[in-house]
Structure 1
Amino acid sequence: MNTSTTLRRLINLWPDLHNALGDRPIHGAFGLGLRGYLAAIDHHDPAEAAALRDLERDPAQLGDRPVPLNLAIYDTMRAIEAALAHCAEVTAAAVQIDPIPLPGPDWPAADRARRAAASRADLADRRRWRFSRPSTPPATFTALWLLARIEYRPGPFRALTEEQARYIRAVAAESLRRAEGVLDTDGNRMTELAPEHPCACGGRIEVYGGGGATPCARCTGCGALWTEAGVIAA
């Protein structure tokens, strides 16, 4: 999978992460959009989410309650946002061309207005990376910005070096791996059951699943196979 495909896959998965997050509904949010939704959950922090989880587990809490955040997905989304933002900051520092300077006092008067207008337009170019810590832009915005750089879209930027392209590829791949892993959409994966749960023959049991597939188990000793419906081969 090349870097462009990886970034597009991550962008497409982002709404699924939100759906799995278990956040409280935002009333009157029709048309808010993904960037607005991300901003709306900024009031959450891990401590608050943990407190909500404790309330959900308390049997004394009867009736309707706000749905708590899924902490694993929350942490994964924040980690991806931070990693992409840092990647964009480093990339912008290396490839973003400084704006055209304003005309100095010795600039020809006849051309001063044109030069000043060009300078202001270049500075305001929306393609420029403008974020710096502690501000962290939405992951989809950052992924799209990195996608434009990896595809050499026009703008006030120098072409990426091979090393810079490799860096973006590595960050994008790790971000997608985390997103797919927490959503269980990263294809067929194997997990070995703990030794205290062996097969009747004494062999180790491996469980395969992920990517929406029906989980199945296999004994490494006798070769027996199981699904949720029971033993399918022995």
Structure 2
Amino acid sequence: MTTTATNLRSVAMHWADLHETVGQPAVVNGFGRGLRGYLAALDDAEEQEARLHQAAHLRTLERDPIQLGVRPVPVRLHILDTMRTVETTLIACADDIAHAAQRAPIAAPSARRTAIAPYRTQREADIAAADRRRTQQLAHADLVDPRRWRYTGRRTAPHAALWLLARVERAAGPCRRITEDEGRRIGVVAAGAAERIEQALDIAAQRRTLEQRHDCGGAIDVHGGEGRVPVAHCTGCGRVWAEGVIAA
């Protein structure tokens, strides 16, 4: 459960970072931009060329540049895709757990039909009215309880992550304790969401062996991530490549 809680906190904490990153232009020609960027530069040359041709074609279809209007801001699509996938998965998990573990709101009291069952005294009527008011207040408080998961309104990845975190940590609320199976389901979803976000933001340590091999025939391992400068290492001859450094 500790790992699950850590992953859910990571999702909630880094969601703002994804929002800030999604509109930033991608950095080009920079070894120090992280392992993902370095590998993309090695592996995606053909894809980049295709995007350039597509962009040139789209520019021919654009409106006259002298027309007034706001141009769309370029976005980093892989960040946007990550956000959509993570949010959809977390919300679906919260929906399922809430459906199984969250109790229904307290029912509001119905008025007594005094024409059929009249009160015997005014005091009895006053006591019944006071009881109805208290029950109505409890029902309303239970209905709007911020600890209650809702199927409309505020349905975001951070809110779903924090609500699931409360279930994992068995916090108080209008829910029973989750079962072991439900805890495992949350753990799988949380781990996948945290991993996607860490990869998108390049804040996780990564290692990959390139398909291309060195001139000596050895495999090339690339290490990086967590904001560090990527380093490539030949497992055959031991040669090392880093930003501004080449060592035999």
TM-score range normalised by the length of the shorter chain = 0.7 to 0.9
Assess if the C-alpha contact under 8 Å between 1:22 and 1:69 holds in 2: yes
Could you tell me which residue of structure 2 aligns to residue 5 of structure 1?
A: 6
Instruction: Determine which of 98, 103, 109 is the counterpart of 2:104.
Output: 98
Seen in structure 2, the aligned counterparts of structure 1 residues 58 and 105 have a Cα distance that, compared at 3 Å, is closer
Q: Distance in 1 between matches of 2:147 and 2:159?
A: 11
User: Which structure has more RCO (C-alpha within 8 Å, separation ≥ 6)?
Assistant: 2
Task: Please list every run of 5 or more consecutive structure 1 residues that lacks an aligned counterpart in the other structure.
Answer: 25-49
**3-state SS of 2:218 partner:** coil
Could you tell me which residue of structure 1 aligns to residue 214 of structure 2?
A: 199
Alpha-carbon offset, residue 104 of structure 1:
4.2
Number of aligned positions between the proteins? 200
Residue 242 of structure 2 aligns with an amino acid whose one-letter code is T
Q: Distance in 1 between matches of 2:193 and 2:242?
A: 31
Q: Distance in 2 between matches of 1:145 and 1:209?
A: 33
Q: CA RMSD in A?
A: 3.1
* Correspondences of 1:1-234 after superposition (within 5 Å): 2-22=3-23, 54=55, 66-104=72-110, 110=128, 111-132=131-152, 137-187=155-205, 189-195=206-212, 198-232=213-247, 234=248
Q: Which has the higher helix share?
A: 2
Residue 71 of structure 1 aligns with an amino acid whose one-letter code is L
Q: Distance in 1 between matches of 2:203 and 2:149?
A: 31
Seen in structure 2, the aligned counterparts of structure 1 residues 54 and 149 have a Cα distance that, compared at 3 Å, is farther
Greater CA radius of gyration, 1 or 2?
2
Alpha-carbon offset, residue 71 of structure 1:
0.5
Q: Distance in 2 between matches of 1:225 and 1:14?
A: 35
Residue 198 of structure 2 aligns with an amino acid whose one-letter code is E
Residue 226 of structure 1 aligns with an amino acid whose one-letter code is W
Seen in structure 2, the aligned counterparts of structure 1 residues 213 and 23 have a Cα distance that, compared at 3 Å, is closer
Task: Please list every run of 5 or more consecutive structure 2 residues that lacks an aligned counterpart in the other structure.
Answer: 26-50, 114-123
